[in-house]
Amino acid sequence: MKSVLRRWLAVVCLSVCVPVAQGQAWSPNKPVRLIIPQVPGGGADAIGRVIAQGISEQLGQPVVADNRPGTNGGVGVEALMRSPADGHNLLLVFTSVMALNPAVYTKINYDPLKDLMPLGGICEVPLVMMASNSVPAQNAVELVAAEKAKPQSIFGASSGNGSFSHLLVEMMNAKTGTRFTHVPFKGEAPAVQNLLGNQEVMIYIGTPALAIANQNSGKLKLLGVTTQQRMPQLPEVKSLYEQGFTDFNESFWYGVVAANGTPQPILDAYNKVMGEVAKSATVQANLGRMGCAPLPMSASEFSARIRNDHAKYAALAKSVGMKID
């Protein structure tokens, strides 16, 4: 009789306790790693560290930034996919990682639509056309005229082969008839440092953080912004649209993903966390100083944006003949 009673009590306990456990929201029990797939010191790194701090404040756990640059985010994706899918490893992603890489690389070691689980979008930035002081132009119109007067005399820097900045150089060539010679660097920071050092007659179209930081240094020129509107942080810099390039309207977004296989309760928890991070006044203010405008997207909204841009950039890369082996 006693053994029967014990079994009955055990069943009752399980029936009561299991729903409680299932109803509890997941939270991390140790520091979380946010992989940033770019070099330290660049725009993506600065944005990623602000987002990491915002996640930390929401979770009540430290969030450690881990830079893993290479192959336009591919090395960072690999680092995530080799890590436990337990909610303690996340990846900062941006347009190149999720939408452009599959369009321009003939071989890619991940499928962004299958291997990565969107947790939420955070912000987007216009791109800024920067130039070394040796470039004989003060705006984009003068730049195109100077390049056409002396073809291939101006180099178009990028943060790497197949990167968004590479695509923008090819777009300039295709849309304006210019012949900028593409020069890939290993990340955004080295490309901008080259401009600051005036080492080459060179332009770079990239995220605005470094442009904003150096706008009054006298060490580079800011020739235009890639969206239709000017940036509040760079009010004197005309948009390309204002300068007559009416089919130029490109921005660059950022968000966070987890690896496929992450349990649904963890994904649900992070979906709520990312929503709070994107709406945080402190996060928005810190990102705003780097030219990043709020773009809060839920996991489902972020997934839809990724799929739409995936198709958009596949068509765009094909139209400008951009393919990387």
| Of 277, 275, 257, 255, residue with least CA distance to 267 | 257
- Distance between start and end Cα atoms, the chain: 74
Q: State which residues form the domain around 164.
A: 128-225
Residue type, 229: Q
Domain count, the chain: 2
Distance from the Cα of residue 228 to its chain's centroid: 20
> Does residue 134 lie within any of the structural domains?
yes
Q: What is the pLDDT of residue 179?
A: 94
Cα torsion 173, 178, 181, 183: sign: negative
| Of 249, 74, 40, residue with least CA distance to 160 | 74
CATH number at residue 172: 3.40.190.10
Residue type, 155: F
pTM: 0.82
Tokens of 182: 């593409």
Task: Indicate the DSSP class of residue 32.
Answer: E
| Of 292, 291, 281, 131, residue with least CA distance to 212 | 291
Cα–Cα distance between 231 and 207 in angstroms, integer? 12
| Of 83, 80, 67, residue with least CA distance to 109 | 80
- Condensed to tens digits (0 to 9), the pLDDT of residues 165-206 reads 999 999 999 999 999 999 999 888 899 999 999 988 899 999
Mark out the alpha helices in 60-208 (DSSP H runs): 74-81, 95, 101-104, 140-149, 164-176, 188-196
| Of 155, 153, 161, residue with least CA distance to 130 | 155
Highest mean pLDDT among 67-81, 209-223, 257-271: 257-271
Cα atoms found within 13 Å of the Cα of residue 97, Cβ hemisphere only: 28
> Does residue 313 lie within any of the structural domains?
yes
Q: What is the pLDDT of residue 76?
A: 97
pLDDT at 325 over 90: no
Are the beta carbons of 54 and 232 closer than 8 angstroms? no
> Does residue 188 lie within any of the structural domains?
yes
| Mean pLDDT (whole number) for 47-73 | 95
CATH number at residue 315: 3.40.190.150
> Does residue 8 lie within any of the structural domains?
no
Q: What is the pLDDT of residue 24?
A: 64
Q: Are residues 116 and 152 in the same domain?
A: no
